[in-house]
């Protein structure tokens, strides 16, 4: 794999946003102090989470947030991306927690960047229902009313693609449905919720709004036309389905015909102009024609009946999660977006990038982040307007269906004692931020 060359990183522009990301369900715990989410229901079902764990305690960030904000301050980030839990906001006193957190961040000189939905839908709500989008707008109103005097930068949704695909099409995440293409309304209703959230935030005076979508280059397994077509289809599902309604006000390749409701009217809401566009990048995907059997990617089974199969990217180091390490995929992705969307693409912020590795002396993570920052800088030099970079994640946390088995943190968390210990990568990133000034 690419190794940290030891050379200082190139300089990023003045005013660049440097941060780390987390999400509520993955770190907060204190599950008894909020209503249940679809993730609480899902993790209670035997066999759903690999190590049988739940996020009832997670990192106990709910109680230990002052310590975690001190870790952010010690790291020297100027921004922190976290999420507000919708079921907590809807519970008595729930907003008080975010009020305290935002005050603590502001006092530490770290800019709060909340995500308004990161997969923890209140139990009983359902993205197959259109009304969930309207309910989300009410949630956004409540959060903006309470935090909008101190929060100026907002993220509507995290990865509606994964929430649709893993949660509703393949059943690997909450709410555990296996609807395959019948999950498409879930994508539409989340996109509608995004557009309604932008309108709600604007009405509340917000001027700095983005979304965090997951994207990656899609590589055909070969030049065979069937592989190329399958890869094109996968690219439409992962990248274009979630970018184009937002950026262009249109669904790609006739997919709009499969969506529920008055799609043309909804697209006008979905395409509310954004101030910036968030990209979560982990790795490219190599895709080929269906194999007639199920294929696998990072522990995820891709059913045989889908019109594509996921193939191994050969010759690359893998993270503990089995994801290939391909830093230049980030340059390719960003330049590709610039070429595809031209002046319809607002400035980009990398809202997640990171890797799972064990150990406190995590040299692989340092090499991964170093190489990805160089790849990001290459995109800047190629003329892509990138304004920020957030590492996933501050803390080792509850990694969804993988439980606590995957460690993405710059800070190690002992899941028995909840003790935090900064890893080598924490000190490395701190030094990078110091050098960047
Ligand atoms: C992303 C999620 C985030 C985390 C990382 C590893 O897809 O947004 O919550 O699980 O992957």
pLDDT in tens, 53-79: 999 999 999 999 999 999 999 999 999
Instruction: Please report, to the nearest 10 degrees, the dihedral formed by the alpha carbons of residues 371, 283, 24, 417 taken in order.
Output: -60
pLDDT score recorded for residue 300: 85
Residue that wins the pLDDT comparison between 247 and 294: 247
Point out the ligand 1 atom lying closest to the alpha carbon of residue 162: 7
| pLDDT tens-place string over residues 137-165 | 999 999 999 999 999 999 999 999 999 99
Return phi, psi of residue 113, to 5°: -130, 85
Q: Which listed residue (162, 244, 272, 352) is catalytic? A: 352
pTM (2 d.p.): 0.98
Share of the chain above pLDDT 90, in %: 96
Q: Give the chain's domain count.
A: 1
Spacing, Cα 262 to ligand 1 middle (Å) = 31
| pLDDT tens-place string over residues 374-386 | 999 999 999 999 9
Predicted confidence (pLDDT) at residue 1 exceeds the cutoff of 90 = no
Q: Which listed residue (28, 104, 159, 399) is catalytic? A: 159
User: Ligand 1 — pocket residues by CB below 6 A?
Assistant: 23, 158-159, 162, 214, 280, 352, 392, 399-400, 408
What are 117's strand-pairing partners? Answer: 157
**176 is written with which tokens?**
């555990």
Give domain status of residue 6, yes or no: no
Taking phi over 0 as left and psi of -120 to 50 as alpha, with beta for the rest, 349 belongs to: beta
Point out the ligand 1 atom lying closest to the alpha carbon of residue 158: 8
Spacing, Cα 333 to ligand 1 middle (Å) = 18
Please list, in sequence order, all residues whose beta carbon lies within 8 angstroms of the beta carbon of residue 62, skipping any fewer than 6 positions away: 28, 29, 30, 33, 97
Residue 352 designated active-site: yes
Give domain status of residue 31, yes or no: yes
Point out the ligand 1 atom lying closest to the alpha carbon of residue 356: 6
Give domain status of residue 8, yes or no: no
Residue with tokens 């996109």: 191
pLDDT score recorded for residue 294: 87
Spacing, Cα 413 to ligand 1 middle (Å) = 17
Point out the ligand 1 atom lying closest to the alpha carbon of residue 26: 9
Please list, in sequence order, all residues whose beta carbon lies within 8 angstroms of the beta carbon of residue 85, skipping any fewer than 6 positions away: 24, 25, 28, 34, 37, 94, 120
Predicted confidence (pLDDT) at residue 430 exceeds the cutoff of 80 = yes
Give domain status of residue 311, yes or no: yes
H, E, C per residue of 267-308: HHHHCCCCCCEEEECCCCEEEECCCCCCEEECCEEECCCCCC
Give domain status of residue 328, yes or no: yes
| pLDDT tens-place string over residues 287-305 | 999 999 988 877 788 999 9
What are 82's strand-pairing partners? Answer: 114
Angle (CA) 238-242-245 rounded to 5° is 145
**Residue 2 pLDDT level (bands cut at 50, 70, 90):** very low
Spacing, Cα 287 to ligand 1 middle (Å) = 21
Predicted confidence (pLDDT) at residue 18 exceeds the cutoff of 80 = yes
CATH number at residue 133: 3.20.20.80
Q: Which of 159, 279, 391 to mutate to test the pocket of ligand 1 (most atoms within 8 A of CB)?
A: 159
Residue 45 designated active-site: no
Predicted confidence (pLDDT) at residue 89 exceeds the cutoff of 50 = yes
Helix runs in 55-208, H state only: 61-75, 86-89, 94-107, 131-147, 160-164, 184-203
Angle (CA) 431-398-143 rounded to 5° is 85
Domain with 301, as residue range(s), is: 17-436
């Amino acid at each position: 794999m690419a190794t940290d060359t030891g050379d200082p990183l190139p300089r990023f522009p003045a005013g660049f946003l440097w941060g780390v990301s987390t999400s509520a369900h993955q770190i907060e715990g204190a599950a008894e102090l909020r209503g249940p989410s679809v993730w609480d229901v899902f993790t209670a079902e035997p066999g759903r989470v690999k190590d049988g764990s739940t996020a009832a305690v997670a990192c106990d960030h709910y109680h230990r947030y002052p310590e975690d904000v001190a870790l952010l301050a010690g790291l020297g980030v100027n921004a922190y991306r976290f999420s507000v839990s919708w079921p907590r906001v809807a519970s008595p006193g729930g907003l008080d927690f975010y009020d305290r957190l935002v005050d603590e961040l502001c006092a530490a000189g770290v800019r709060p960047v909340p995500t308004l939905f990161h997969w923890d839908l209140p139990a009983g709500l359902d993205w197959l229902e259109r009304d969930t989008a309207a309910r989300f707008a009410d949630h956004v109103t409540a959060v903006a009313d309470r935090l909008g005097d101190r929060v100026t930068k907002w993220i509507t949704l995290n990865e509606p693609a994964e929430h649709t695909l893993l949660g509703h099409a393949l059943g690997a995440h909450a709410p555990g449905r296996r609807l395959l293409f019948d999950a498409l309304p879930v994508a539409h209703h989340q996109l509608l919720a995004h557009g309604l959230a932008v309108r709600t935030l604007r009405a509340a005076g917000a001027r700095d709004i983005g979304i965090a979508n997951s994207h990656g280059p899609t590589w055909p397994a070969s030049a065979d036309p069937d592989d190329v077509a399958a890869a094109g289809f996968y690219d439409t599902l992962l990248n274009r389905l979630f970018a184009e309604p937002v950026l262009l006000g249109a669904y790609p390749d006739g997919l709009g015909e499969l969506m529920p409701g008055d799609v043309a009217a909804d697209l006008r809401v979905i395409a509310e102009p954004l101030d910036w566009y968030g990209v979560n990048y982990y790795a490219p995907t190599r895709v080929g024609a269906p194999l007639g059997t199920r294929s696998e990617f990072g522990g995820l089974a891709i059913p045989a009946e889908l019109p594509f199969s996921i193939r191994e990217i050969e010759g690359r180091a893998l993270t503990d999660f089995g994801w290939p390490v391909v830093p230049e995929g980030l340059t390719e992705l960003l330049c590709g977006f610039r070429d595809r969307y031209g002046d319809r693409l607002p400035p980009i912020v990398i809202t997640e990038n990171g890797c799972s590795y064990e150990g406190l002396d995590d040299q692989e993570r340092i090499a991964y982040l170093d190489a990805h920052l160089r790849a990001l800088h290459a995109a800047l030099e190629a003329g892509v307007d990138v304004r920020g970079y957030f590492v996933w994640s501050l803390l080792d946390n509850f990694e969804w269906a993988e439980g606590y088995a995957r460690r993405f943190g710059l800070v190690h968390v002992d899941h028995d004692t909840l003790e935090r210990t900064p890893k080598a990568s924490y000190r490395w990133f701190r030094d990078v931020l110091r050098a960047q000034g």
